[in-house]
Every structure is written in C-alpha cells, then in structure tokens.
Structure 1
Amino acid sequence: MTTPVVDIWGPAAPEARVVISSAPEPHDEWELAGGTAWVFYSPLNRRQLIRPVILSDGFSGGASSLDRLWAGLEENGDYRFISELHAAGRDVVILGYDDRAASITANADTAIDCIRRALAERVGRSKLVVGGFSMGGLITRYALAKMEQDPALPDHETALYLSYDTPHQGAWLPVSLQAFTHFAADNWGEVPLVGEKLRQFSALLNSPAARQMARWHLEKASGTVKEDPERAEFLQKLDELGGWPRSVRKIGVANGVETGNGNGIKPDVTAVRADGETLVDTWLKTQATGDQEVARLQKKGGEPVSVRTSGLPDIDGAPGGLFTAPSEQGDPGSFGLVALLSRLLGNTVDPDVITTSCFIPAISALAAGDISDPKALYQPVTPDSSELDAFVAAGRNEGHTTMTEELGAWIVNEIVASN
C-alpha cells in the first residue's frame, strides 16, 4: 500500500514513519493570500506557463508541504503523475495552504487567487485545468462556482475540473475513533510526547474544515453525533452558488470500486480492545445500522463512558478509499491508530485489530448518492447516478488518494483531450 497524496488527518502518532524525499526546486513560487503555489513548467514549454494544470492540496493540520505533495504525486504510487503531465506539455501548479484545517470557503479564496495569478502569467489562450485531491477537490469546486456567480470576480477560463477521491457527499471517520481521540486528549493530553499528538488530533477533528467535510461529527466523547452546523452552512453556500461550476467539464476518480462490493469489514464487531496501565476494558466496534454502542471508554480508576449511535449506516465496510490504510511506511489506519495510541499509553491491545475503515465512500467520491443511505453505499455506481460528466473508479478498495496508473493515466488523457 502506498503513502497517500495528502496527509489526511495529520501526523498519526509519534512512531508513524513516512519516507519523504525532497521535491525539486520549483521553477516559480507564488505567494498567495492564505497559501503558496509551486510552479513546475513542462520541459516542452521553455519556462513559460502555457497549459496550466492547478492541483490543490487537501485537509490536514498546519501548512502544506511541497515535499509531501511531490512524493505522493511522483514517488510513492505506481504512476509518475507530474512527469506524465509534463510529457503531455502541461505545466503543473501545486496549490498549498497556510492552514489546511481552515474552512473550505477560506481556502477557496486562496484557490481563486491562484487561478487569477495563473491567468495573469499564462502565455497564449489555452484554458486552465483546475482540481484537487481529497478536500482539495471541494475547495476548487467551490472556488470555480464562486467565480462564475460573483460579478466582481473574473472569468476562470477553465475547461476541465477534476477531483481525486474527493468527499463530494461527505467523509466518514468512525464515531468510535472520534470519541476515543477526544477522551484520550482530555485524560492524557499532558503526557510527554503522545499528549501533544492527542491534543493536536483532537483539535484537528474539531477544526472548521473537519466539521465541514465529515458527514457525522462528534465534538467530545460525551457529545452527540450529528451533522455539524458548519457543514450545513457550507452546503447551503455551495448550493447558492449552483452546487458546481457550470461552464466546465467535470471529472472525478474514486479510490474505491464502483461495483458496490465492500472492503470486507463486517459491522458491529470489535475492532480494537485495550486494557492495562491507563485503560480498563476499553473497546471500539465497527459501525452498524440501527441503535448501537460503538465504544466503551474507561480510564483506570474512572467511570466508563458509553458512546452510542443511532440511524447510521454500516459504513466502515463500504466500498471506497480507505482511511490511510496500513503501509510499509507505518501508517496505522483508523482503528490501527487507536491501537497504537493505546500501546503508547501503556496498555495491552488484543492482537486481532481491524486496522482500517472506509474513509471516502465511492458514492461520495463520484457524487453519486447519499452516504447516509445504507442501500446506496453498496449499490453499483452508474453514469446516470453521478453528478460528474465522467468518472473512473479503482479496481479495488485502496488507500485514500493513492496515485495509481489506473486512475492517474485516465486523468492525464482527459486533460490532454480538454484543450
């Protein structure tokens, strides 16, 4: 399994290891309001911006890292995406943000600034290609739609919009994982090394971007699972802009299958169980439909906290891009993250850990259905069901934003055909 293009939910834990080499020096660097764009001209264009392709970073903590983005696009998958775009005469503009956890609308303004700069620097009249990975697809979707509706903004002059495993219908992070993270941060946030990571992760889950992207959000371990008001407000704003840019061809890919076949994770089974120095009979279960106790959390010497859900679908096993699936680089996956943190807090973890879970359901990445509908999650995706003009799904359920030849080559061909 390869390292994702974007650092989805921030550094997983102190012991997680990701091998990232240095990116080459960009040919140009644009300082933007709220971010930075790194420009890599195609060798065919002699240091001129002729056919720009803008690729937006997605969600995580802190500022975007060019080295990490470059590694995901060029080195850690099985397809050299930037090199192939360069060979096709396309100039690549990698768009990063000062705060990847800021609201989608705020970072959309940075994307608009990048688009305006690309139009000003462009030589000739070739239209732009604009899109992004994970939440970056939502940021650029909103930016292009806003440019079409706001008379104070220029024409975006974009021919093609692309999204790569973008949560158009929302992302899924297990409620039990959210609860454990907040519970652990509240109780062990001052523990050396691991405490800082727990606080960061808990804060990240409550950031504006996470609240807008997650279909179900839990603010604290004893809170109520719901669609966050910030998400509802964002969706209303997007709807007021028409939902999508109208004057472009819209394409997308999913790291999950379109067949409706899940990843094999069964609902309502124990994913992680831990007991030891700090935890007592603490466990997390995979999500099931109906009323369910999804987690039992207990600090040694404290009272147990029961986390319950009602009306959610059995989504952990749904077809889709997997939550930072376990890899040779040390990415622990969703439930694997809980196991790792539990061990760091001095506990023994049962060996039979279900490590990962669905993160971006295929019907979300392909804008093809409501992820709160358990039937829709496991139905095949058809062209008629998608809001995209064209799409391709992976041949297997793989790590979220994994760059593969199957998906990357299809996008390059679409870009070449666009102008």
Structure 2
Amino acid sequence: MSDQTEPTIEPFGFLAPPTGPGIAPAPTPDETWELNGGWAWVYYGDGNSSLTRPVLLSDGFETGPSSLDALWEGLERKDFAFVGELRRRRRDLVLIGYEDRSASLLRNAEVATDAVLRAVAERTGNAPLLVGGFSMGGLITRYALAKLEHESIDHQTEVYLSFDTPHRGAWVPICLQALAHFLAATPALSRQINSPAARQLLWRHISAVEDTPSQDPLRTEFLAELERVGGWPMRPRKLGVANGRGDGTGNGVPAGEEALKVTSGWFAHTALRTQSLGAAEQVAHLQGLFRKKTATTDGLPDLDGAPGGTLETFGIAGDRLKLTGRTEVAYRSVNFVPTISALSLRDLDRREDLYADIDGIPPEESDFDDFKFSATNESHSHMSEELGRWILDRLPHG
C-alpha cells in the first residue's frame, strides 16, 4: 500500500530566511580557526597583516552547520556592503560558525567563548573587541560574555552588539508548529521545531499538535542559567538593533484570518490562520488522507502582525506544500522577532506592549545602553544601510 502513504516533502525550515540556490562563494578568509564545535573565519581589515582590531559576529539559527557563503551573502551582497565598509575602517571581521546551529545555546556559547579568547590571545596590540551576533548569535554571545565576567576572565570587549536577537523570545505561529508535527512523512521539520535551540528561542512552543502552547522547559532552564551568570555582560557598552519598526505600526497582517490553505491533493482542506487573541481559538485545521487534527490557542496576542523582523514562514510552507496539491497563501511573511523583544524592552504577553510606540517608553526600560530600530518592518537579520551605518558609527575606540 505504498501508494497510500502521504508524500515526503523536501525538508525546509521556519526559523531562518531561505538562502536559496546559487549563492556565490565567499572570498577565502585570511585565517580559519578550527574550534571545538565550530569555526571562525577571519578577514583582516584593509592594511592589516594580522588580527589587529577584531569585530566578532556570531551566526544565528538553522539546522546543520553554518555556511560561510550564506553569511557573506547577507553581510556584503545585499542592500549594504557592510563587510567592505568595516574593513575599510581597518577592522578585522571574525565570523563565528557552528557545526550544529540547532544545538543548545549553552553548547554553542562554548564555541563563541573559544573564539573570543583566541582573538584576545592572537590580536596584535591592545585594541578592544566588538563581540555580538545575529538573531540567536546575539544570545549566544550575550551568555558567553556574561559567563566570562562571572568567572572573572577578561574578555577585553568594549562593545556588545545584538542584531535582531529575540531576547524576550521569538515567534513562530502555533499553527505552523502544529503543521511541522503533523507532516509525519517529513520529520526533519518537526525535529527542527523541537531542537534544543528552537525550544530555547521560542516564546511559546509545542512539541506535538495537541500540546498547549507554553514556555518550553529548555527555555526556562536557559533563562535561569543566563540569570545565574548575571543576565548581561556589564563591562561592554551594549548596543541593540531591531529589524522592526519602533512607532507601533505592524506589518499589515490581520489577526484571525486564513493565511494558508490547501485546496487539492494529499492535504486538501488543511487551513492555517493568523494568531488571534481569544479563548479556544482554532489556528489550524490539518488534514491528510487518513487523519485530521486541529490546533487551538488561549489568550495569545496577535503576534503575526506585530512590529518586528519578519520571516516568510507561511510563504515557505505554502511553496513546499505545492508539491502535494494546490495551495493559496494570503500572507507570506509574518513577525518573527518583535521589536520589543529585539530591544529587550518588554515581554510579549500583552498587545499594548507589542504595538507600543517605543518613543513613549522610558529608554531605561531597555537592557541596552543604546538601540536602533528600522524605518520599516523588514526581513529578520537584514543588514540595511540604515542599520549598518549606525553600527559602524559605534565601533570600539582604538
């Protein structure tokens, strides 16, 4: 009866922007450091013949190993040539990558720590470091620096940079998490949602379709461990960047609307809805040839349309489901890292906080010394000229 088995769909992920085929190779690094559990790719600044003024930036979440080519594509070949501008200022770029980006943040923090200490040991002169990362990478380096301070180890970092990092949690719609677990013939997606890093990053998580959305125990443990080492590094100047707007204007995705539906094929009648506040809100009707399930939520705010860095979560899912039948996608991109999370201003429980005008919030409520939000709700981890130049103007002295 193999012809009655639901089809396997090509593996895909919700928690990082798709890189797509045909990415050009990155230039060969001046140095490649083999670290225990990862790598660091080193590019000297213009005129430098050794590591002199290091800027260390950590990769973010996905499944499997970091891709130098994808990192370079995002930092240099999109809207703003950030690496070129950085190196013209005679800064050395150290990109930190991981053998498994879905491993525990605590495990990958060991890789980041090794990179920081090696940069300190191999640097010529005494110029202070900038250390930070994109998305998950900002949390990894936040913990690594705080732990080094907790252990009285000198990390010699003047600036900590967080780029669209979900300090108060990231959001993947519960309906999409449920879909991941429903697609039994494509277990890689469920494994990604249930990976240690995803469970630590997501504000609300489900391990199976029928679960009640909640803070995962691994996230609770990670936050407790972060607090144990001080919560934040205290020595560096802390800079936060958000890909979302700061004036309370959302991305235009309405609450409680059909975002994706399958109209024919193996999963016909499957329908996913954007998140809406309310009791027993049905967010997913999932249907295969031999089974069907529903997913509901209670009291979750309308996060899909909130200001913040976006991902094409519904769009990616709809494109893959086309392999099994016709699909209709009403809203391709939704919020992934709310602005208030990226700037560590407030928690995500209340709509009035999610959609707050940040100019009306006392800046001391943020855990950052200075922060910058985008003029538009743009793609998560997108290095725009607006954000890139703001960072370049705040590099360490020396």
TM-score with structure 1 setting the length:
0.88
**Alignment partner, residue 15 of structure 2:** 9
Letter matched to residue 58 of structure 1: G
Where 2:47 maps in the other structure, the secondary structure is: helix
Contact 2:171/2:337 (<8 A) preserved:
yes
**Alignment partner, residue 3 of structure 1:** none
Distance of aligned partners of 1:81 and 1:125 in 2 relative to their CA distance in 1, 3 Å threshold: same
**Alignment partner, residue 57 of structure 2:** 55
Structure 1 residue 337 displacement after superposition? 2.1
Where 1:415 maps in the other structure, the secondary structure is: coil
**Is it true that 1:282 corresponds to 2:270 in the alignment?**
yes
Structure 1 residue 375 displacement after superposition? 1.1
Identity of aligned residues (%): 46
Contact 1:171/1:213 (<8 A) preserved:
yes
- What is the CA–CA distance in structure 1 between the aligned matches of 2:268 and 2:75, rounded to whole Å? 42
Per-residue CA deviations over 1:125-152 (Å, capped at 9, x if unaligned) read 111110000100000000000000024x
Contact 1:63/1:99 (<8 A) preserved:
yes
Report the more deviating stretch, 128-137 or 304-313. Answer: 304-313
Q: CA RMSD in A?
A: 1.5
Mapping for residues 326-337 of structure 1, pairs under 5 Å: 333-337=312-316
**Alignment partner, residue 348 of structure 1:** 326
- What is the CA–CA distance in structure 1 between the aligned matches of 2:265 and 2:130, rounded to whole Å? 54
**Is it true that 1:398 corresponds to 2:375 in the alignment?**
no
Mapping for residues 236-385 of structure 1, pairs under 5 Å: 236-291=224-279, 292-302=281-291, 304-323=292-311, 333-345=312-324, 347-350=325-328, 353-381=330-358, 382=361, 383-385=363-365
Where 1:414 maps in the other structure, the secondary structure is: coil
Letter matched to residue 246 of structure 1: M
Per-residue CA deviations over 1:324-357 (Å, capped at 9, x if unaligned) read xxxxxxxxx1111221222112x2223x521111
- What is the CA–CA distance in structure 2 between the aligned matches of 1:338 and 1:28, rounded to whole Å? 38
TM-score with structure 2 setting the length:
0.93
Give the counterpart of 1:42 among 19, 27, 45.
45
Distance of aligned partners of 1:261 and 1:11 in 2 relative to their CA distance in 1, 3 Å threshold: closer
Per-residue CA deviations over 1:69-114 (Å, capped at 9, x if unaligned) read 01110002x1111111111111110100111001111111111100
Contact 2:132/2:142 (<8 A) preserved:
yes
Contact 1:10/1:61 (<8 A) preserved:
no
Contact 1:108/1:140 (<8 A) preserved:
yes
**Is it true that 1:26 corresponds to 2:3 in the alignment?**
no
Please list every run of 5 or more consecutive structure 2 residues that lacks an aligned counterpart in the other structure.
1-12
Letter matched to residue 15 of structure 2: W
Distance of aligned partners of 1:367 and 1:148 in 2 relative to their CA distance in 1, 3 Å threshold: same
Structure 1 residue 9 displacement after superposition? 2.8
Structure 1 residue 10 displacement after superposition? 5.8
Structure 1 residue 8 displacement after superposition? 6.9
**Alignment partner, residue 10 of structure 2:** none
Letter matched to residue 273 of structure 1: K
Where 1:43 maps in the other structure, the secondary structure is: coil
- What is the CA–CA distance in structure 1 between the aligned matches of 2:278 and 2:370, rounded to whole Å? 35
Please list every run of 5 or more consecutive structure 1 residues that lacks an aligned counterpart in the other structure.
1-6, 190-197, 324-332
**Alignment partner, residue 235 of structure 1:** 223
Letter matched to residue 355 of structure 2: Y
- What is the CA–CA distance in structure 2 between the aligned matches of 1:316 and 1:411, rounded to whole Å? 28
**Is it true that 1:140 corresponds to 2:129 in the alignment?**
no
**Alignment partner, residue 103 of structure 1:** 104
Runs ≥4 residues deviating over 6 A? none
Mapping for residues 137-286 of structure 1, pairs under 5 Å: 137-151=138-152, 154-184=153-183, 186=184, 189=185, 198-286=186-274
Structure 1 residue 11 displacement after superposition? 8.2
- What is the CA–CA distance in structure 1 between the aligned matches of 2:139 and 2:20, rounded to whole Å? 28
Letter matched to residue 380 of structure 2: H
- What is the CA–CA distance in structure 1 between the aligned matches of 2:158 and 2:326, rounded to whole Å? 54
Give the counterpart of 2:73 among 66, 71, 74.
71
